[in-house]
Amino acid sequence: MRKEMSAIVERNPGTELSFTVCEGKGEPCRARVRSRDLESVTKAASEASARYEGVARVEVHERPTAYTGLYYVADIEVDLPDLKPAPAAAKP
């Protein structure tokens, strides 16, 4: 996961990868991407969701800090056993 998330961050200027954690087989992998602007972190989160074919849980929120100001953060979880890809939209 670290390799994929690092590539996504590289393609989205202004974002940085805070961490990735994969604890073991059967456990979800987690990553956190952060940025000073909402658009950059949202774009990175969307790209991560597409990379994992929609089988990801993504939560984007604000993270104020006392010393460095406001960051926008995307927490991403993949390899979740209870999630399945969304069905493809029917074409008219």
Query: Is residue 36 assigned to a domain?
Result: yes
Asked whether the predicted pLDDT for residue 74 surpasses 80, the reply is yes
Query: Is residue 58 assigned to a domain?
Result: yes
Residues 6 or more apart in contact with residue 43 via CB below 8 angstroms: 12
pLDDT band at 54 (very low <50, low <70, confident <90, very high): low
Q: How many domains does the chain have?
A: 1
Closest C-alpha to 34, from 57, 64, 56: 64
**Is this structure's pTM higher than 0.85?**
no
Give the residue numbers spanning the domain of 66: 2-78
Query: Is residue 89 assigned to a domain?
Result: no
Query: Is residue 17 assigned to a domain?
Result: yes
Query: Is residue 83 assigned to a domain?
Result: no
| CATH code, domain with 8 | 3.30.1360.100
